[in-house]
Structure 1
Amino acid sequence: MKNIQARALVIATLILAASSGAWAQPGQTASAASGAPGATGMEASAAAPANTRKANRALRRQIYAAIGKHKEIDAGNIGITARGGAVTLNGTVTDASQINLVAEIAKGVPGVTSVTNKLTVQKPFGGM
């Protein structure tokens, strides 16, 4: 019984040793490949999405601030999604001329690479 446990322990150790350097570039250890001293691959990959989400939120805030400078536009019904510089505008505006205006404002914000405009004109109450 002890012989089987010893074999299982050796096999588990070999698997662990082989997998720890699986993602490293040739000549680098896993912590050196991640770019952070002492960081594992899991820690580095967790930090990258967090930084991306932070940058996307900052870009959204900048676009909302730019739209807010135009008092004729009600940004309360506009939703903004930002992913790596690609921006999508959703929601409604009160006038058809504001659809293109909001898109142009968003394109003028530094960091915006593309704008998908899905804005529509808000129908007045009563449906007419």
Structure 2
Amino acid sequence: MMNSRVAGLVFATLVAMASMSAWAQPQAAASDSAGAQAASAMAAPGAAAPTSRQANRALRRKVYAAIGKDKSINAGNISVIAKGGAVTLNGSVADAAQIGKVEEIARGVPGVTSVTNKLTVMKSFGGM
């Protein structure tokens, strides 16, 4: 009884060890190649992301500077989001005429491909 139990344990141990070593080699090779593919896939967008972020920030600054040059517009309540040449204007201006003017200024900035204008007219505190 004891011999068959020991023999069963030894056999199970040998089978487990053989299967682990048999699976470890192909799996290691597959994980190495998968890891290399994942690393190369992550490296490409990772390298491009800072460049596009920098370009978006630079375009945003250019739009802000262009709006700031027009002294009739208070750019303090305007936010600019730039993504790949597409610019979104958010915030408020003093009167309705400035909404179109800000959009026109943004469209004139080199590198801007489209403008989404979400500007509103600032309401006065007096309620009039």
CA distance in 1, matches of 2:67, 2:27: 58
Partner of 1:26: none
**Cα deviations across residues 33-64 of structure 1 (Å, max 9, x unaligned)?**
xxxxxx83322221112211111111000000
Name the structure 2 match of 1:99: 99
Q: How far off its partner does 1:13 sit?
A: 2.4
RMSD: 2.0
> Which protein, 1 or 2, shows the higher relative CO under an 8 Å CA cutoff with sep ≥ 6?
2
1:49 and 1:127 mapped to 2: Cα distance? 46
Instruction: Give the C-alpha shift of residue 8 in structure 1.
Output: 2.5
Paired with 1:7 and 1:45, the residues of 2 have a C-alpha distance of: 36
Q: Report which of the two structures shows the higher radius of gyration computed on alpha carbons.
A: 2
Q: Match of 1:64?
A: 64
Give the counterpart letter for 2:108 in structure 1.
G
Percent identity of equivalent pairs: 55
Return the structure number with greater helix share: 2
In structure 1, stretches of 5+ residues that fail to align are 24-38
How many residues in Structure 1 have an aligned counterpart in Structure 2?
Answer: 113
- One-letter amino acid of the counterpart of residue 89, structure 1: L
Amino acid at match of 2:65: A
Equivalent of residue 27 in structure 2, options 12, 20, 25: 12
Distance 1:55 1:105, change over 3 A: same
| Bigger shift: residues 1-10 or 71-80 | 1-10
Question: How much does 1:3 deviate?
Answer: 1.2
Unpaired runs of 5+ residues, structure 2, are 1-15
